[in-house]
Structure formats: C-alpha cells, structure tokens
Amino acid sequence: MKLKWPNIMFIGFLLSTVAVTFSESESSESESSESDIISRFQQYLKIKTNHPSPNYKQSSEFLISEANSLSLHSQTIELVPGKPLVLLKWVGTSPDLPAIMLYSHTDVVPAEHDKWDHPPFEAHLDSDGRIYARGSQDMKCVAMQYLEAVRKLKQWGFQPKRSIYLAFAPDEEIGGHDGAEKFSLSRVFQDLNVAIVLDEGLPSPDANYRAFYAEKSPWWLVIKAVGIPGHGAKLYDNSAMENLLKSIESIQRYRASQFDSIKAGLKAIGDVVSINTVFLKAGTPSPTGFVMNLQPSEAEAGFDIRVPPTVDTESLERRISEEWAPTWRNMSFTLGQFKQKMYGRDASGKPAITKTDSSNPWWALLENAVQEAGGKLGKPEIFPASTDARYFRNLGFPAIGFSPIANTPDLLHDHNEFLHKDEYLKGIKIYESIIKAYASYDEHEIDERFKDEL
C-alpha cells in the first residue's frame, strides 16, 4: 500500500515524539539516580563521627542499612567496647581465592564551625556543585564510593570471582590503635584470607589521580630543657628557654633543608622527613597571665615528625640525641617521650613498602582499571602523613592508598572541606572499574593459559 504524504508526516511525528519522550525519560532516570547517589552521600556526611565523641552507633546503623539494601552479608565487630568495626561481604564465585578488602575509616577530625562558610555537618550542596562537609574528602567519600560502585556492579549482574570485603573502622584520626591495629592482628582478619587492601589516598590538584605505595611513620617527639630559674633582668648561660630555643633553631635548619629539596623539585613531600613545631610550654602562670620578671626553670616543645620508610632511622635518632636534645645542654628526651613512634618496617625489618613493579599484579590492575574508566595515575608516591594502611603493610600485605579525587584542592582537616559532586560521581565509575578488575583476577587461570601457549 502506498502511504500518502500526510500519513508519512504523522508517522514521523509519532516516532519523533516517542524518541523525545524516551530520551527525556532516560535523562530523568539518570538525574534521579544521580540525585539518589548524592543524597546517600549527604546522609553519611551528616552523621557526626567527629572526635572527641564520634557517633559510631549511628554510622554503623547507616552502613548496615546500606548493606541490607545491597544484599551484602554484614557483621559488627567490637574489639574495643563502643568502637564498632562494620564488616560487609560480597561472596565470590571462587571463595577459596584470596579476597579483596576495601577499607575506610568512619571517624573524622573536629571542625571549627565558625570558620566554615557552611555548617560542617549539614553536607551543603552549593549552586556550583560543591558538597561542603567534614569528611567529604577524608574519607567518607571513599566509603560511599565503594558502596555505590558495588550497587552499580550488582545492577549490571556482575559476579565477582574473589570475595570482596568492605571494612569501616573507627579511630584512624587518633592513631587507629583501637581500630585498624587491633583488627589487623585479630583472628577475624586472619580468617578473611585477604590478598590486597585498598585504603585512602589524597586529592590531586590536577587531572592525574594519586596512588600511594608506602607512608611516613609519625614520630611525635617532646623535648625538655631545664635550668636554674632567675630574675628576668639577668643574663646567664644555659637557661631552660635559651637551650630550648637553640634546639628549635637547629630543628628549623634541618626542616628548611628538607623543604628546599621539595621547592627545587628534587623530591616529593613523601620522600623527605617533615618536622613541625606543634606546641611550646614554658613560663610561670599568674592570675593576670605570666610572671614577666622570672625566667622559667623548665621549658618544653613538641614536634610532629614524619619519617619515610627509606630513611636511616638510627641516624635520625642520633641527630635527636646529639644535636637537638644533647644532655650537655641540660636537654632530655627518651624514647618514652615519643607520644607515638612507629617504624615503617615489616616483620622482617624491611621497609613496609607495596611494590609498584611487575612483581605486584595489583598495581598494574589498578593502573589499567583507572585508564579504562577514563582516568590516569600519576607517579607512585609515599603518603606524606599516616593512614591505617600501615598496619596491613607492616604485616606484609600489599596495601595501596587511593582516593579517586582529581582537579581538587587538598582540604583534609582544613576549613571548608568540600568535594564537587561531579568528581564524586566520576570516582564511583573509577571504583567500578577497579573492583571489577580486582575481583575478576585469577593468577591460576593466567598460569594455565601460559602453559597452554607453551
């Protein structure tokens, strides 16, 4: 039958209307999905897990609720009362293969509310797409990106070969001793048969994502000087304040030498010893302030020292005892005066470093997965501070620090911490690719194929 021109026009109109309607519906569905994803992120950010009194109960309930919505096995472990670790499991089709662990911490540092443009626990989304909240970068974003990536993979019908564990632990921001440290040494962790641990990284100011294979160890040092008290008008040698200031000057010169190599582009921040004065304590208090005509008999200073695993720690300790706090200058320090002192060494005494060469398939898998998702990794780095990943590396497990945040200023622990929603959503796609690659990897299959080819 030959169609008349008006009928053809009408059919064309119907087809275009259907196409437009379908396109609008698809777009609306996509926007609704993105809106839900951002809403769940905001919900988690609003939970006040800030120190000194983190609401771990509420965060645990939220995470278990998310696990239930994804049909994941969940359990809550309290290695220390009141400090729960939530452990989720997605069972693999070959559960005998060593598992993947996606690790994050639930606690965040305090925030000075009056210094923020938006309240730090309201998860405000501004008109430019920035989500302002404490934990938006460190590291509630990563925790929720894990969950959202799992959600997407499940929607696609993906079946992991290896089992996947998602661990949400307490206390990282105060050292991790009641969280990751106890967990890593527990029978619970040993029974998981973990092959690789993914933990947090840092935002990148450019388009390349940052990935970390090791980290500095924190040495929190207190140096004390003593001397004879005297009248404020007197001049004499070896007063407590004079000796402490000499030490601070020596430390500052060392700090400058380390910093200069960064400024010159010779080293990255993770490659040098960083040291910062964090407190000074001296003087004789009075109701109106301090006594101004009395030289104190004691003076103390605290230093936050971060030591790369590649540094000769014995040499650094000698520098502290012989140059920064020599006994002949009425200075004292003992190892007990380190509030925290950890060497980045594994059980065999070797630097606790995750390899980034061909001997470590997990690094290559990460790099390829990021590329397949449209991203790119920068040069492997040593993390300039400390994370819970150190506890797993110290036991010999490969652990990689990675937060898929690019084109973003590093605002960890800073005022107005934010993450743009587009970067957050892009990070979910990155994790989809990584989780799929990691959970599908089977070295035995590769070996068999290689033998067949021979």
300 assigned ligand-binding residue: no
Q: Which one of 66, 107, 381, 423 is the catalytic residue? A: 107
Q: Is 172 a catalytic residue?
A: yes
- The amino acid at residue 415 is H
Please name which of 421, 431, 305 lies closest in space to residue 375, comparing C-alpha atoms: 431
181 assigned ligand-binding residue: no
Query: How far is residue 417's CA from residue 45's CA, in Å, rounded to a whole number?
Result: 12
Tokens 């470590």 locate to 360
SS (H, E, C) the chain: CCCCHHHHHHHHHHHHHHHHHHHHHHHHHHHHHHHHHHHHHHHHHHCCCECCCCCHHHHHHHHHHHHHHCCCEEEEECCCCCCCEEEEEECCCCCCCCEEEEEEECCECCCCHHHCCCCCCCCEECCCCEEECCCCCCCHHHHHHHHHHHHHHHHCCCCCCCCEEEEEECCHHHCCHHHHHHHHCCHHHHCCCEEEEEECCCCCCCCCECEEEEECEEEEEEEEEECCCEECCCCCCCCHHHHHHHHHHHHHHHHHHHHHHHHCCCCCHHHCCEEEEEEEEECCEECCEECCCEECCEEEEEEEEEECCCCCHHHHHHHHHHHHCCHHHCEECCHHHEEEECCCECCCCCECCCCCCCCCHHHHHHHHHHHHCCCCECCCEEECCCCCHHHHHCCCCCEEEECCCCCCCCCCCCCCCEEEHHHHHHHHHHHHHHHHHHHHCCHHHHHHHHHHHC
200 assigned ligand-binding residue: yes
173 assigned ligand-binding residue: yes
Buried/exposed 28-41: b ≥16 CB within 10 Å, e otherwise = eeeeeeeeebbebb
Residues 6+ apart with CB under 8 A from 280: 299, 300, 301, 302
Q: Which one of 172, 178, 381, 423 is the catalytic residue? A: 172
Query: How far is residue 135's CA from residue 44's CA, in Å, rounded to a whole number?
Result: 9
Tokens 């010169």 locate to 253
CA-CA distances (angstroms) from residue 435 to 72, 157, 199?
A: 15, 14, 13
413 assigned ligand-binding residue: yes
Q: Is 126 a catalytic residue?
A: no
Please name which of 41, 31, 27, 28 lies closest in space to residue 130, comparing C-alpha atoms: 41
Q: Residue positions in the annotated binding site for Zn(2+)?
A: 105, 138, 173, 200, 413
Q: Residue positions in the annotated binding site?
A: 105, 138, 173, 200, 413
| Catalytic residue ranges | 107, 172
